[in-house]
Amino acid sequence: MMLAGTGSDVGKSILATAFCRIFRQDGYHPAPFKAQNMALNSFATPEGLEIGRAQAVQAEAAGVPCHTDMNPLLLKPQSDHTSQVVLNGRPIGNRNAYDYFSQEGREILRKEVCAAYDRLAARHNPVVLEGAGSISEINLRDTDLVNLSMAAYAGADVFLVGDIDRGGIFASLYGSLALLHPEERRLIKGIFVNKFRGDLRLFESGIKMLEDLCGIPVLGVIPYYQGILIEDEDSVSLAVKAAEAQLGKVNVAIVLLRHLSNFTDFNVLEQDPRVHLFYTNHIRELEKADIIILPGSKSTIDDLAELRRSGVAEAILHARRKGKTILGICGGYQMMGHEITDPEHLEGDTECLPGLSLLPVQTRMTPDKVTRQVRFYLNTPDETAEMKGYEIHMGLTSPIEGEPPSPLTLLTDGTADGYMADRHCMGTYLHGILDNQPFIDFLLAPYADKVAGKETFDYPTFKETQYDKLAAHVRAHTNIPSLYNILTTEQR
């Protein structure tokens, strides 16, 4: 099945996650698939390759390891016009939007994504495909790789998802269908009305009107869910998280970078009852934090330059002088060093930019990309727990001349990672380091007076509970027998 949309952010990803869990609960062996994804939030597979984080979440809901066949083509925006192109988990270069969507070379990419689907479909049933944006971008019809051309190749039953919360549900659903060619229109087998607020009985007449207009069934009207926490695909809502300091908790500020990536690094920490976490790029709000975290960035040098222009860099240095904790992850770790050099202009025209000089390290940008899952230990005598994380980065970071290494972590393969100046100033390349309770405890230990008596947080169990709650919510508002009837009936 494919979940396609009337536009972006209508809830395709979250419904795909729900159906991956529903099919698993019903005894099937499902897997997610999105031929082409555009996102800065990515993940490393067990093989050390890169896919969109949304497909990794959907795989987790399905109870299967993530694989590049689930997202063979990933676009990671570097500016308003260019993206890094990741094919089958490996970067193959940067492309501007005009060249990427041109006909030249398009069939090569089409063959790659279709081959990935074939491999996945041979191992899993059903495959839950996800479209991208709107199915009715008619100017892109000839170059489409991810929506109805992919559905036609897979022989997928397509279900159109509309967002009633933003308004215009009748126009968006009917108009999307009206713009399709007849052969495309025949692929659409049903409708989901998503993000409904209020009394569902008030929309009963609307369901009939939609079915009469569109000629296909409305299989579900899904209420806007509350109290269910699933990882977001996009970071657009981060800035609205409250920045007011809270008494009795450790206040953690994530610096809201323009090109912030892998914001899901902080999901576990945000749920910890000892912590109040918020995102900000305002100096006064940073002053309220006990811990400031510099996150990953897809354009590290540009984001570092913006920190300097905005005064945020000086606010971070001031926080360090006051004894607050500064942690850098990936690009944030690179920013904490003495300088970042980019002699091959991989990120732009700037060849060298001074860092924050919080750590005695320097970074040189390199074209080779490191993507791998790792297991590691903290480089402290009193912490022996084995933990896990993953790396997705370009660049090599090493101590400046005359400075001894002081790694934050020791990897099980015998190598080291990161740098720790002291308990209040450290950096690492490891995404997911904050998914490990021992590291969170290590980070919060200097603030024991604030967290005394508060319980720790079991994130793996929490996530499983959230997937089950999401599945129950969607199942309760979907005509599951009709859905299965469509999926198991040969259409002629």
Bridge partners of residue 459, in order along the sequence? none
The answer to whether the bond into 126 is cis (omega within 30° of 0) is yes
Task: Look at residue 448 and tell me whether its pLDDT is greater than 90.
Answer: no
Considering the candidates 124, 259, 431, 477, report the single residue annotated as catalytic. Answer: 431
The two structure tokens encoding residue 488: 């198991």
Percent of the chain with pLDDT over 70: 95
Pick the closest to residue 442 from 372, 382, 366 (CA basis): 382
pLDDT band, very low/low/confident/very high, at 381 (cuts 50, 70, 90): confident
118 in the same domain as 68:
yes
Q: Same structural domain for residues 218 and 353?
A: no
Q: What range does the domain containing 148 cover?
A: 2-230+465-488
431 labelled catalytic:
yes
CATH code assigned at 421: 3.40.50.880
Q: Which is it for strands 90-96 and 82-87: parallel, antiparallel or unpaired?
A: antiparallel
- The pair of structure tokens assigned to 50 is 């890169």
Question: Dihedral through CA 17, CA 23, CA 28, CA 33, nearest 10?
Answer: -30
Q: In the block, which residue shows the tokens 């980070």?
A: 443
Tell me the backbone φ, ψ of residue 436, rounded to 5 degrees.
-105, 120
d(CA 369, CA 89): 11
pLDDT of amino acid 348: 87
Rounded Cα–Cα distance for residues 62 and 32 (Å): 8
Residues 153 and 265 grouped into a single domain: no
Bridge partners of 291, per DSSP, are 252, 325
Contacts for 398 with CB less than 8 Å, ≥ 6 apart: 361, 362
Q: How confident is the model at residue 492 (pLDDT cuts 50, 70, 90)?
A: very low
As a whole number of angstroms, the distance between CA 269 and CA 279 comes to: 13
**Nearest-angstrom CA–CA distance, 203 and 95:** 45
> In which band, very low, low, confident or very high, does the pLDDT at 93 lie, cut at 50, 70 and 90?
confident
Query: Pick the catalytic residue: 67, 330, 425, 477?
Result: 330
333-359 pLDDT per residue, tens: 999 999 999 999 988 889 999 999 999
Extract the runs of DSSP E, i.e. beta strands, from 347-415: 352-354, 361-378, 387-399, 409-411
Q: What is the pLDDT of residues 198-246, one digit of tens each?
A: 999 999 999 999 999 999 999 999 999 888 888 876 554 555 555 666 8
- The answer to whether residues 284 and 378 belong to one domain is yes
Q: What is the pLDDT of residues 145-174, one digit of tens each?
A: 999 999 999 999 999 999 999 999 999 999
Same domain assignment for residues 191 and 45: yes
Say if residue 389's pLDDT is above 80: yes
Say if residue 98's pLDDT is above 70: no
The percentage of the chain sitting over the pLDDT mark of 90, rounded to a whole number, equals 80
State phi, psi for 401 to the nearest 5 degrees.
-55, 130
Task: Indicate if 395 and 377 belong to the same structural domain.
Answer: yes
**Within a 10 A sphere around the Cβ of 316, how many other Cβ atoms?**
24
If one counts the domains in the chain, the total is 2
Q: Give the Å distances, CA to CA, from 298 to 40, 212, 332, 396, 427.
A: 7, 47, 10, 15, 17
Residues 6+ apart with CB under 8 A from 226: none
> In sequence order, what are the residues at sequence separation of 6 or more whose Cβ sits closer than 8 angstroms to the Cβ of residue 105?
none
pLDDT given for residue 251 in this prediction: 96
3-class DSSP state of 334: helix
pLDDT number for residue 238: 59
Buried b (16+ CB within 10 A) or exposed e, 129-151: bbbbbbbbeeeebebbbbbbbbb
* String of DSSP letters for 164-231: GGGS-HHHHHHHHHHTS-HHHHTTEEEEEEEEE-S-GGGGHHHHHHHHHHHSS-EEEEEEPP-S----
Residues 6 or more apart from 47 whose CB is under 8 A from it?
67, 68, 89
- The mean of the pLDDT values for the chain is 92
Verify that 300 and 355 share a domain, yes or no: yes
Does the pLDDT value for residue 457 go beyond 90? no
Written as six digits, the tokens of 270 are: 């945000």
* Beta-bridge partner residues of 420: 426
Are residues 226 and 287 both part of a single domain? Answer: no
Q: What is the mean pLDDT of residues 48-54?
A: 94
Do 142 and 188 sit in the same domain of this protein?
A: yes
Establish whether 330 is a catalytic residue: yes
pLDDT of residue 491: 58
Asked whether the predicted pLDDT for residue 2 surpasses 60, the reply is yes
Structure tokens at 349: 């025209």
In whole angstroms, what is the distance from residue 468 CA to residue 364 CA?
Answer: 44
- pLDDT of the residue at 81: 73
pLDDT tens string 419-437: 999 999 999 999 999 999 9
* Domain identity same for 339 and 478: no
| Number of Cβ atoms within 10 Å of the Cβ of 183 | 9
Q: How many CB atoms lie within 10 A of CB 207?
A: 16
Torsion of CA 355, 359, 365, 366, to 10 degrees: 180
Q: Is the pLDDT reported for residue 276 higher than 60?
A: yes
Identify whether residues 207 and 257 lie together within a single domain: no
Average pLDDT over residues 379-394: 91
CB 35 within 8 A of CB 117: yes
CATH of residue 94: 3.40.50.300
Highest mean pLDDT among 79-88, 120-129, 261-270, 274-283: 120-129
Same-domain status, 12 and 68: yes
